[in-house]
Structure 1
Amino acid sequence: MITVGEQRWSPAPGLVVLAWLGTAGALAWFVVLLLGAADPAGQLFAAVVTLGLGVAALFGTVARPRLALHGHGLEIRGLTGRRHVDWPAVQNVRVLRTRRFGRETSLLELDLLIGGEERLVVLGRLDLAADPEDVADAVRPYLPTR
């Protein structure tokens, strides 16, 4: 195994700012509907849009960096905190390619063995702000040989 320099992948900052701006706009829309005409369907729709954009913006802000490589292993962050995984616990790294709406997308899959339990972590381009294939290529050299 080679010595690893720290590498990090996070959602793109511009996309997170855009999500916060969208949340503010959706909240303003919701307030206008709430104070204006009695349109319960519109109010519900505006509330759901506001909540969805707010959660996405919060996730993009809190879960930074989403994936980091350290000398001892991986660090994966989410809304509820971070998880450190030593290199021996990383079982496999692969890229899943699927075709949706006529466009090919890739997902990075990390198979982890934590406390005797297998865990699957799936990260996409929005999580990493990079091509999952490139991230997988950066992680693979540090995996213990089996």
Structure 2
Amino acid sequence: MSPLQWRVRPVLPIVKLLGAVALVVLVVAFGGEDPVQWFVAIVVAATLTGWAVRDLVAPVRLSADTSGVTMVVGFIRRRHVAWPQIERVRVDSRERMGLRNRLLEIDAGDSLHLFSEHELGTDPEKVAEALNAMRANAPL
């Protein structure tokens, strides 16, 4: 089986950067004389920018091959987990306030890795199916 990878959709970092710029523009447009407004705007804009930079520097959040799974942990660090170390791959689906949230869960025994549809660029159910199929065919 050939290696598989899932990445952040290219539009997400662009939207985050535009949001950061829009926030600063709104503060300027509405007077922006209050130092608290500026502080909050700068902190939120910096956070959005950092989040967008992470998407640009490490767009591939999850990849899998016959040896195991490699995933981004923390800001941009990568961790490889061999198939025998993975206890379970499943999708956790919850509904709160009328919104459904689905996360891919990779249980590696000592750690639990969660990936949203936005991080994977596709439906977590499809990713779970592909990972479980690759895991079943992986050499022990």
Which of 6, 21, 37 is 1:9 aligned to? 6
Gaps in structure 2 of 5+ consecutive residues: none
Give the structure 1 partner of residue 132 of structure 2.
Answer: 140
Q: CA deviation at 1:7?
A: 1.1
How far apart are the structure 1 equivalents of 2:38 and 2:9? Answer: 30
CA offsets 1:53-91 (integer angstroms, 9 cap, x no match): 112202211222000012211110242411111111111
Q: Does 1:130 align with 2:122?
A: yes
Q: CA deviation at 1:143?
A: 2.4
Aligned pairs for 1:1-146 (under 5 A) are 4-27=1-24, 32=28, 38-78=33-73, 79-113=75-109, 118-143=110-135
- The one-letter amino acid paired with 1:131 is D
Cα RMSD after superposing both structures: 2.2
The TM-score, its normalising length taken from structure 2, stands at: 0.84
- The one-letter amino acid paired with 1:42 is Q
SS of 2:122's equivalent?
coil
The TM-score, its normalising length taken from structure 1, stands at: 0.81
- The one-letter amino acid paired with 1:133 is E
- The one-letter amino acid paired with 1:91 is E
Q: Percent of counterpart pairs with the same letter?
A: 31
